[in-house]
Structure formats: C-alpha cells, structure tokens
Amino acid sequence: MNTRLLTLSLIVFAIAMFRLLPHPPNVSPVAAMALFGGAYFADKRVAFLVPFMALLLSDLIIGLHDTMIYVYGGFALTVAIGFWLKNNMNLTRFASSVVGSSVVFYLVTNFGAWLSHGNLYPQTFEGLIQAYVAGIPFFQNALLGNIVFTALLFGGFITLQRRVPSLAESN
C-alpha cells in the first residue's frame, strides 16, 4: 500500500471516530468524510470503499437504524460531489461542494424519514413538507459540522502534503 493511500485511509478512519464523541445532533464528520474521499482518493472504488467502511464501523458502535439506506445514499451522492470537486479544486467549488452536499444529504435523509416513518408523517405531499420542516434544525447542525470538518480535513491534508511531499498525488 502506498504512503498516500494509507495516510488518506487513516485520516478518514480517524475523523470517523469523532462520531463516537459527544456532539450536538448532526454536527458530525459524515459528509466531510465523503467529500474528502471523493476529492482525494485516486481510485473511485476506494473513494467509496474507505469512507463507507469508516461510516459502517462507527455505525456498528453507535447503533443501526431503519433509515440507514437513505443516510448511505446521501453519503454516496456526497462522494460523487467530491469527484466533481477534485477536477478543479478552488474556493468557489469547495464552498459549493460543502453547501451542496449538505443540501443533498438533507433532502435524501429527510425524504427517507418521511417514507420510513408513516406513523410520524402522513404519506402525502403535506407530510413530506412536514418532514423537511422538522429537519431544518438538523440541517443547520449538519451544515455547521460539514463546514468545520471539511475545513479540518482538506486544510489539514493540504498542510500535510506541503510538509510531506510524498503525499502529493502522482499522475
């Protein structure tokens, strides 16, 4: 295993452990791990595999739930947004990716909450709107977590690459 791949993998698994520490609801590194994986792993399969394994391991500790398919679906879409970010990483794309991935994750997971919890939300358009409105405080927290953890991951790795040139991607 090359140094870059090992380092990136260790970073993703380490940041996933933040999910195990006390934190406000939804202020977590989930979206940041997916964006980071999509933007930095050279092999697209690995870009999905490593962050998904980190997420799954932390979920096994935290606990599984009935809407995980939607969380993992939103996570996969966020990895894909990371691929888009990788092609031309600049401040505008970075900010768009952070906000866009938060919005995508919010839309997918709240749709899943509406669909999976028929006893909580009526299975109507109005019920779907109720699910989205109920999710707004969690979206705000998720956006905050995404901003903090993407800045930590991307800024930290950029700094690390400057100090350890062997971590730069070889083409």
Average pLDDT over residues 30-55: 95
Average pLDDT over residues 9-30: 91
d(CA 74, CA 113): 13
Q: Any idea which residue has 């969380």 for tokens? A: 71
Cα torsion 100, 102, 107, 108 to 10°: value is: 110
The pLDDT value recorded for residue 146 is: 95
Q: At residue 39, does pLDDT exceed 70? A: yes
Residue 101 inside a domain? The answer is: yes
Q: How many domains does the chain have?
A: 1
d(CA 120, CA 88): 42
Say how many C-beta atoms besides its own lie within 10 A of residue 88's C-beta.
Answer: 8
Residue 88 inside a domain? The answer is: yes
Q: Could you give the 3-state DSSP secondary structure of residue 168?
A: coil
Look at 19-33, 122-136, 139-153 and tell me which has the smallest mean pLDDT.
19-33
Residue 47 inside a domain? The answer is: yes
pLDDT over 90 percentage in the chain: 82
Say how many C-beta atoms besides its own lie within 10 A of residue 69's C-beta.
Answer: 13
**How is residue 131 annotated by DSSP?**
H
Residue 15 inside a domain? The answer is: yes
Cβ neighbours of residue 102 closer than 8 Å, sequence gap 6 or more:
31, 139, 142, 143, 146
Range of the domain at 134: 3-162
How many CA atoms are closer than 13 Å to the CA of 14, on its beta-carbon side? 10
pTM of the model: 0.91
The pLDDT value recorded for residue 170 is: 60
Beta carbons of 154 and 146 less than 8 angstroms apart: no
**How is residue 124 annotated by DSSP?**
S
Say how many C-beta atoms besides its own lie within 10 A of residue 163's C-beta.
Answer: 7
Residue 158 inside a domain? The answer is: yes
Residue 68 inside a domain? The answer is: yes
Average pLDDT over residues 44-64: 94
Residue 13 inside a domain? The answer is: yes
Residue 143 inside a domain? The answer is: yes
